[in-house]
């Protein structure tokens, strides 16, 4: 199989498995998505989806959020981990959205990445899922699978993102990044991985990864 064949195999397989693609984080608009993505750092989506209704019942927009104290926000989001940093980020970005952007989430990577606690991955998720702008946010699942599939060298998430954008057609980025996440969770997890269930890795996987699996 050429690299182009492998890329097409990935696209076809994911398209068959996930013709309808669920969005992992519950939200109703760009602001609630931004907050949910920020909370998801080093926290499971399931946990985030349990916590955001409690937070959004009190504040689902920047104007209500800044009426709360950082301490109050921190208490609510504590189960998501990193709550001191995340609560300051949520309060700080809400203030900036009001002061600089009329309370709206900006539709720009540059402005999003200027916000406190918002990195490139968070900005990419918001741009792709809230505004339908092509982006390829790389999380741990995508990073792991691109390496397992021998489509990236796994040295850094930046490199993985560059490789994904180079290999996959731009018009598919927004669907593919979600499809790969779901595939990683269901068929190719980091722990408890069963290669017989993982058709993509079994078919196009990196030789060293397959050899290591069989050895163990």
Whether 93 and 67 map to the same domain: the answer is yes
Whether 14 and 62 map to the same domain: the answer is no
Determine the pLDDT at residue 216.
85
In the DSSP assignment, the letter for residue 124 is: H
Q: What stretches in the chain show pLDDT beneath 70?
A: none
> Comparing C-alpha atoms, which of 197, 181, 186 is closest to residue 125?
181
Determine the pLDDT at residue 154.
86
Catalytic residues: 121, 139
Whether 34 and 126 map to the same domain: the answer is yes
* pTM, 2 dp: 0.93
Q: Which of residues 111, 131, 151 is at a domain's end?
A: 131
Query: Measured between alpha carbons, how far is 129 from 30 in angstroms, rounded to an integer?
Result: 8
Whether 126 and 41 map to the same domain: the answer is yes
List the domain range (segments joined by +) for residue 41. Answer: 30-131
Per-residue pLDDT tens over the stretch 151-174: 999 899 999 999 999 999 999 999
CATH number of 74's domain: 1.10.340.30
Q: Can you tell me which residue has the tokens 């539709």?
A: 107
Query: Measured between alpha carbons, how far is 75 from 73 in angstroms, rounded to an integer?
Result: 6
């Amino acid at each position: 199989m050429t690299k182009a064949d492998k890329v097409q195999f990935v696209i076809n397989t994911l398209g068959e498995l996930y013709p309808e693609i669920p969005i992992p984080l519950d939200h109703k608009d760009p602001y609630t998505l931004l907050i949910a993505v920020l909370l998801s750092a080093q926290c499971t989506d399931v946990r985030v989806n349990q916590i955001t209704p409690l937070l959004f019942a009190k504040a689902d927009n920047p104007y209500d959020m800044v009426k709360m104290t950082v301490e109050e926000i921190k208490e609510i989001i504590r189960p998501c981990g990193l709550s001191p940093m995340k609560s300051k980020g949520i309060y700080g970005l809400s203030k900036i959205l009001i002061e600089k952007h009329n309370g709206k989430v900006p539709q720009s990577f540059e402005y999003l990445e200027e916000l406190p606690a918002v990195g490139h991955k968070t900005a990419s998720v918001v741009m792709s899922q809230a505004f339908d702008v092509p982006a390829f946010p790389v999380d741990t699942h995508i990073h792991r699978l691109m390496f397992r599939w021998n489509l990236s060298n796994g040295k850094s998430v930046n490199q993985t993102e560059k490789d994904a954008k180079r290999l996959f057609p731009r018009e598919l980025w927004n669907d593919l990044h979600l499809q790969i996440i779901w595939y990683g969770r269901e068929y190719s997890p980091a722990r408890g991985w069963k290669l017989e269930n993982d058709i993509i890795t079994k078919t196009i996987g990196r030789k060293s990864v397959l050899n290591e699996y069989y050895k163990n």
